[in-house]
Amino acid sequence: MRTLCSSTLIGEFFVIGFAALVAMKDPGLSTSTVWLVSGIAMVLCLALCGVLTRPGGVALGWALQIALIASGIYVPTMYFMGAIFAALWWASVHYGRKIDEAKARFAAQSTQDSPSGA
C-alpha cells in the first residue's frame, strides 16, 4: 500500500505546486498567502509518505484529498483534479491493501512449503 499511496502523494505534490502558480494570478489572493497554504500542503504530501503505515496516516491522506477538492474555490480546475486524485487515493489504498494481503499469504505459504532443515 505504501508504494501506491506514496506515488499518488508525490503526484499531488506537483499538482499543488502548479495550482499555486495558477492561484497567484488571482488578484484577490496575495502571493505570500498562496505559497504559505500551498507550501504547507506540499510538505504534508511529503510527510504523509513517511507515515502512511502508522495509525491515522490514511485518514490524513483523506483529509488532504478533501482539502484538494475544496481548493477548487480558488482554482476551479482543482475540483476536477481533486476528484481525480481522490479516486487515485481510493484505488491506492484499496488495491495496495489487497497487494499487501497477497504478499503476506505468499510469504506464509512459502515458509510452510520450504523444508524445515533448509
Residues 70-91 pLDDT 10s = 999 999 999 999 999 999 999 9
Q: How high is the pLDDT of residue 118? A: 52
Residues 2-55 pLDDT 10s = 899 999 999 999 999 999 999 999 999 999 999 999 999 999 999 999 999 899
Q: How far apart are CA 22 and CA 34, in angstroms?
A: 10
* Residues 6 or more apart whose Cβ sits within 8 Å of residue 26: 34, 74, 75
* Residues 6 or more apart whose Cβ sits within 8 Å of residue 82: 65, 68, 69, 70, 71, 72
Q: What angle do CA 91, 95, 96 make, to 5 degrees?
A: 105
Q: How high is the pLDDT of residue 116? A: 63
CB distance 97 to 1 below 8 Å: yes
Amino acid, single-letter form, for residue 38: S
Summarize the confidence of residues 94-106 as an average pLDDT.
92
The conformational region for residue 109 under phi > 0 = left, psi -120 to 50 = alpha, else beta, is alpha
Name the pTM for this structure. Answer: 0.85
Q: How high is the pLDDT of residue 41? A: 95
